[in-house]
Amino acid sequence: MALENPTGMAQTQDLILGEFPRTLDDRFRLSLPSQTATLLLGDETECVLAKESPGCLSLWNGAEWRAKHDASVELIQSKMKAGRLAGRIHEVQQLGRLLSTRHKPVQLGGKNRLVLPDGFRQFLGVEAGGELILVGAAVCLEIWHPDRWFGHLEQQMPQYREMFDNLAN
């Protein structure tokens, strides 16, 4: 049985959870915990790495990402062909720029290692030998710069109980 996540991508019932400190090695690789990699990949071999906010990347199951992403891009293209976005060319151009750089298909190497591509490392703000925090975000795995993660956590933790109660009821 599948659950729907906030982006509309089908997910298994198992949530991707946990907080895992990591160090980026000299080849810009980080190792994912094996259970987390299994939950994320399922039967797939490819993931999608996406830029979320400065200091945060997300890693998604490739097939699920592509299904949602491709459907959304097709919808935008059909609106363009129908002339429904004619007065919004600036927004379309801005979206195109972000689509060009926001995500990239990646594969895990041996020992569940992920190589962080250059532009993604810059967005994350980390170099070889730098510390990272992997965070299970229920439907994906997030990769955080520690300073950004702790800042985010400070802002979000006060809403935890209300959010949990709202989703659980």
Tell me: the pLDDT tens digits for 128-139? Answer: 999 999 999 999
Q: Give me the pLDDT at residue 160, please.
A: 85
Domain that holds residue 153: 3-168
Cα 104 from Cα 22, distance rounded (Å)? 21
Higher pLDDT, 87 or 5: 87
Higher pLDDT, 7 or 100: 100
Instruction: Give the phi and the psi of residue 29 in degrees, each rounded to 5.
Output: -110, 150
pLDDT in tens, 84-117: 998 898 998 998 898 888 999 999 999 999 999 9
**Cα pseudo-dihedral 67, 1, 167, 9, rounded to 10:** 0
What percent of the chain has pLDDT above 70? 92
- Is pLDDT above 80 for 140? yes
CATH number of domain containing 72? 3.40.1550.20
- Is pLDDT above 50 for 11? no
Residue carrying the six token digits 């993604």 = 120
Q: Give me the pLDDT at residue 44, please.
A: 83
Q: Give me the pLDDT at residue 47, please.
A: 95
Length of the chain: 169
Number of domains making up the chain: 1
